[in-house]
Amino acid sequence: MRILVVGSGGREHALVWKIAQSKLVSKIFSAPGNGGISEKAECVDIKTEDTFGLLEFAKKEKIDLTVVGPEAPLADGIVDIFNNYKLKIFGPNKKAAQLEASKVFAKQLMKKYNIPTADFEIFDNPGLAKKYIERKRAPLVVKADGLAQGKGVIVTKTIEEAIQAVESIMEKKIFGESGNRVIIEDYLEGEEASIIVITDSKEVLTFASSQDHKRIFDNEQGPNTGGMGAYSPVPMINAQLFKEILDRIIFRIIDGLAREGIDYRGALYAGIMLTSQGIKVLEFNVRFGDPETQVILPRLNSDLLEAMLATVEGKLAKFKRMDRWRWDERSCVCVVCASKGYPGKYEKGKEIFGLEEIKNIPDIVVFHAGTRKLISDVKGQKTIKYITDGGRVLGVTALGNTLKEAIYKTYQAAKVIQFEGMHYRRDIGWRALKRE
Ligand code: AMP
Ligand code: GLY
């Protein structure tokens, strides 16, 4: 089969890496891909938001399955357009992608179908939003309704901060039209976890649990990022809690979507807070997580592509009956190496050293995110080097018999990698270790 993976981050590198292991694959393309992806896939210079460019490419290259990594093309309706041309594509359609693209839509659905989440109110008028805040007690969370590249959530400690957040989002429009409406919700205290499944609307195939680390600095300090590291599984999520998450969250939302006439096919990600009052949904995403995918896929012993195809074709029930979904018992840890300045402004183009040295160490994989491969030919002598090309640059990933061992191996490998200004968190997995 000929596969096209859309996206250019660490998540897409992990997807390409895993799909490349499938016996069904003959060729993989990635648009636009990155330095690491180019080792397993042919990278084509088409942007993720260029739906018609991707469509033309898929037609011309007779792509058998397109896999969409990020949320933006899904929210734009790439799946609907590919479906019109009878091209197979993995991911939810535009209506279903509202679950991530509109937090108002998601919260209303959660309320309607009795899915546990923080209490909230919706406002399209900043004056009324501020009045509401004045009647509440801090801390509060203010969320822009639409997509904001993962930055649309402002956790506020005081009433004044919450009012400022409303002004920034609704009046100054720091997230543009995404801030036409806001959600103001109660602050939840607890530990976060990510539960990812794939579904064809009727059946659900579960992935291992994982935990992301959102803040830039150790001890959860500093601003939020796309994610600075992850581990899987989350020891706290035992079989009983996992079942509760499926019953009270995953099955209810899929059933709710179906009742609304929405046929959801693709990955579904529930961001969950484990509070003293039980599990609550923070958000739904309509895609795989980044960096969660980097710690989940190395633990998957089965053919991801086969499962994705079954999802697209609505045949997950049959796939499940074949009983081929297997997980490695070991733990997996990913540490993200970021550019100086990230998540603010950062420089690009710094040479990355050390990749070659850890390339063939068993159970270590380096997933590339913001990197670019440069090939130079000096008098017939070919040299390859990788340079930084984004904020999150690499995800150093290791499997270990225990979480502790996986953490140790990951950091041993991370020490070998170097580029100017590189920084990474030193405490990935700390919550689980502390509990041990
Ligand atoms: P979201 O995109 O809605 O998941 O929000 C991004 C991040 O903001 C989450 O991963 C949490 O760390 C934080 N967050 C969102 N909602 C809440 C809440 N109600 N209480 C506490 N933290 C929250
Ligand atoms: N790691 C968080 C996300 O993918 O949304």
Establish whether residue 250 lines the binding site of ligand 1, counting it when its CB lies within 6 angstroms of any ligand atom.
no
Report how far residue 254's alpha carbon sits from residue 197's, in angstroms, rounded to the nearest whole number.
11
Place of tokens 């995404």: 178
| Residues 99 and 89: beta-carbon distance below 8 Å | no
Amino acid making up residue 164: Q
Ligand 2 center from residue 423 Cα (angstroms): 20
- Contacts for 214-220: CB closer than 8 Å, 24+ residues apart: 216/338, 216/342, 216/343, 216/425, 217/425, 218/425, 218/426, 218/427, 219/427, 219/430
Nearest CA, atom 1, ligand 2: 290
- Which three-class secondary structure state does DSSP give residue 421? coil
Predicted confidence at residue 3, as pLDDT, reads 98
Predicted confidence at residue 224, as pLDDT, reads 87
pLDDT < 50 stretches in the chain: none
Angle between helices 304-312 and 10-19 (to 10 degrees): 100
Ligand 2 center from residue 227 Cα (angstroms): 6
Report how far residue 289's alpha carbon sits from residue 195's, in angstroms, rounded to the nearest whole number.
9
146-155 pLDDT, tens per residue?
999 888 999 9
Predicted confidence at residue 434, as pLDDT, reads 87
Q: Ligand 2, closest atom to CA 227?
A: 1
User: Strand pairing of 2-7 and 27-32?
Assistant: parallel
Ligand 2 residue neighbourhood (C-beta within 6 Å)? 212, 227, 285, 289-290, 292
The pTM of this model reads: 0.97
Nearest CA, atom 3, ligand 2: 289
Predicted confidence at residue 435, as pLDDT, reads 83
Measured CA to CA in angstroms, residue 400 lies from 33, 120, 316, 404, 405 at distances of 28, 41, 31, 8, 5
Q: Ligand 1, closest atom to CA 118?
A: 19
